[in-house]
């Protein structure tokens, strides 16, 4: 899946950027500053646990690439599922608090449904306070309110956030997320529509349609995705 691979590269790329303190060193360069101290917090990827909210095709690509570079990957799903080779561990929403508490990075890939709206709002992220992970959102903005996200950063439940999706897009110019020192904002580009990928999906589905096979990327209107 080309889209999934692109989004996986976005997620892993941002994790690497955080661990290498790329943004901090870029700011130092702008101020002609030579300071090695940000590198003292660097961790090997083999010591990092990534928690992925959702276990669909995109999440699976994220898990596959993350494990390939040495990370431990947990997946959160709605109901019990059989183990998958891409994930070290699968758990359900009923164990959300335990799931959040064990992650160094949390990546949301969940769709927008009545069940996922505000799943991480309120004090849900207080479970993260022991590890203070980075939250990466490539799913939908409705998973958490802006107020709850800002509070989690202020309280130290999260040490940072990488946001590619928002409840309102474009993100309003008055949003405090733009200038927050712990937040990276990108304009919904983690999975860009690349012509080659679109053509590949179309051809594959056309061949399946002609051969009366089940199509890929079919929307289930009852589930909402």
The CATH number of 2-32+42-210, from 3.40.50.720, 3.90.1200.10, 3.20.20.70, 2.40.10.230, is: 3.40.50.720
What is the predicted pLDDT for the residue at 135?
A: 99
What is the predicted pLDDT for the residue at 2?
A: 83
What is the per-residue burial (b if ≥16 Cβ within 10 Å, else e) of 74-113? bbbbeeeeeebebbbebbeeeebeebbbbbbbbbbbbbbe
State whether the Cα torsion 20-84-5-172 is positive or negative: negative
What is the predicted pLDDT for the residue at 198?
A: 87
Q: Is 162 within 8 Å of 131 (Cβ atoms)?
A: no
72: which strand partners?
49
Query: Which residue intervals of 31-142 are DSSP H helices?
Result: 57-68, 96-101
In angstroms, the CA 85 to CA 28 distance is 41
Q: Which residues are catalytic?
A: 140, 169, 188
Sites in the chain below the pLDDT cut of 50: none
Radius of gyration of the chain (CA): 18
Q: Is 137 within 8 Å of 146 (Cβ atoms)?
A: no
In angstroms, the CA 27 to CA 210 distance is 55
What is the predicted pLDDT for the residue at 224?
A: 81
């Amino acid at each position: 899946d080309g889209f999934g691979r692109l989004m996986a590269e976005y997620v892993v790329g941002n994790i690497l950027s955080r661990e290498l303190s790329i943004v901090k060193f870029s700011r130092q360069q702008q101020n002609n500053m030579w300071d090695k101290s940000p590198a003292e917090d660097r961790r090997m990827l083999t010591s990092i646990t990534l928690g992925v909210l959702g276990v669909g095709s995109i999440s699976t690509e994220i898990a596959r690439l993350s494990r390939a570079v040495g990370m431990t990957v947990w997946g959160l799903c709605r109901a019990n599922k059989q183990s998958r080779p891409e994930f070290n561990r699968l758990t359900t929403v009923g164990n959300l608090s335990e799931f959040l508490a064990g992650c160094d990075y949390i990546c949301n890939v969940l769709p927008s449904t009545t069940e996922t709206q505000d799943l991480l709002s309120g004090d849900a992220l207080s479970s993260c306070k022991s590890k203070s992970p980075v939250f990466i959102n490539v799913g939908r903005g409705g998973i958490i309110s802006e107020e709850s996200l800002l509070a989690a950063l202020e309280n130290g439940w999260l040490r940072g956030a990488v946001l590619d999706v928002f409840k309102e897009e474009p993100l309003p110019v008055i949003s405090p997320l733009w200038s927050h020192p712990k937040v990276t904002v990108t304009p919904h580009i983690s999975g860009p529509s690349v012509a080659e990928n679109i053509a590949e999906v179309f051809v594959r589905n056309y061949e399946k349609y002609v051969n009366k096979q089940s199509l890929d990327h079919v929307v289930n209107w009852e589930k909402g995705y």
